[in-house]
Amino acid sequence: DQQVKQNSPSLSVQEGRISILNCDYTNSMFDYFLWYKKYPAEGPTFLISISSIKDKNEDGRFTVFLNKSAKHLSLHIVPSQPGDSAVYFCAASASGGYQKVTFGTGTKLQVIP
Amino acid sequence: KAGVTQTPRYLIKTRGQQVTLSCSPISGHRSVSWYQQTPGQGLQFLFEYFSETQRNKGNFPGRFSGRQFSNSRSEMNVSTLELGDSALYLCASSFGQNYGYTFGSGTRLTVV
């Protein structure tokens, strides 16, 4: 049962344009969401997070949007740079007790110079 | 500061053998989680330890086990290896819930 879904396994974007990575979740108990970036031969690195009390969080070129009613979040990267080419994982967890972090299957982003 | 250290980086084992992977978290981090990454499956949660106690366990068979020591270092063990256990095993540490994980570079296990 995949509770966090990233339906696009890959995405190609021109340098300078916007990259939009999407993520859907099914567990209504999830209230904390994170995005991680992973380069080959390295572990994932934390990028940005959002709590369910917010619908938007920005950090430089990265913005995460949360639509709780649709159980959908997205990561926007503007402008996209070649160094952003990586696999992006969406992750979610539920507060209350010790809840594990559930990851999606990842989206491979390629930014074309 | 030192990051999360996983050893070894690469490992080749034969079916039926067992393997132990090691993870040293960032100093001060008491939570250590293990994930298995395979193509198309994303990061599958194995287990999480906090102060030497297993707090969460994923849907993996009993062949997968782990432990955490008093210095927060963690090990995971896989017994009776199967070909399907070939994967990248990632360890992540954090201060606790709702803090971002810091991942190690992983151990690439190949079972032949």
Tens-of-pLDDT digits for all 112 residues of chain B? Answer: 579 999 999 999 999 999 999 999 999 888 999 999 987 778 899 999 998 999 889 999 999 999 999 999 999 999 999 999 999 999 999 887 666 788 999 999 999 9
Number of A/B CB contacts below 8 angstroms equals: 65
List all residues 6 or more positions away from A113 whose beta carbon is below 8 Å from its beta carbon: A15, A82
Say whether residue A93 is in contact with chain B using an 8 A CB cutoff.
Answer: yes
- What's the pLDDT score for residue A2? 79
Contact across the interface for B58 and A41, Cβ inside 8 Å: no
- Which chain A positions have a beta carbon within 8 Å of B97's beta carbon? 93, 95, 98-99
SS3 of chain B: helix, strand, coil, percent, to 5: 5, 55, 45
- B50 or A110: whose pLDDT is higher? A110
Distance from CA of B79 to the nearest CA of A (A): 24
Nearest CA in chain A to B44: A103
B31-38/B87-94 β-pairing = antiparallel
CB A98 within 8 A of CB B50: yes
The residue in chain B having the minimum alpha-carbon distance to the alpha carbon of residue A106 is B42
Please give the residue of chain A at the shortest CA–CA distance from B97.
Answer: A98
Question: Token digits for A54?
Answer: 């917010």
Q: How far is A14 from chain B (nearest CA, A)?
A: 25
Residue of B41, B48, B105 with shortest CB distance to A43: B105
Supply the pLDDT for residue A96. Answer: 64
Chain B residue closest to A31 (CA)? B98
**What pLDDT is stored for residue A97 in this prediction?**
57
Considering only CA atoms, which of A44, A7, A35, A15 is closest in space to residue A112? A15
pLDDT tens-digit profile of A25-74? 999 999 999 999 999 878 999 899 999 999 999 999 999 999 999 999 99
Q: Which of A94, A108, A113 is nearest to A17 (CA)?
A: A113
**Which has the higher per-residue pLDDT, B66 or A1?**
B66
Distance from CA of B97 to the nearest CA of A (A): 7
Q: Could you tell me how many residues make up chain A? A: 113
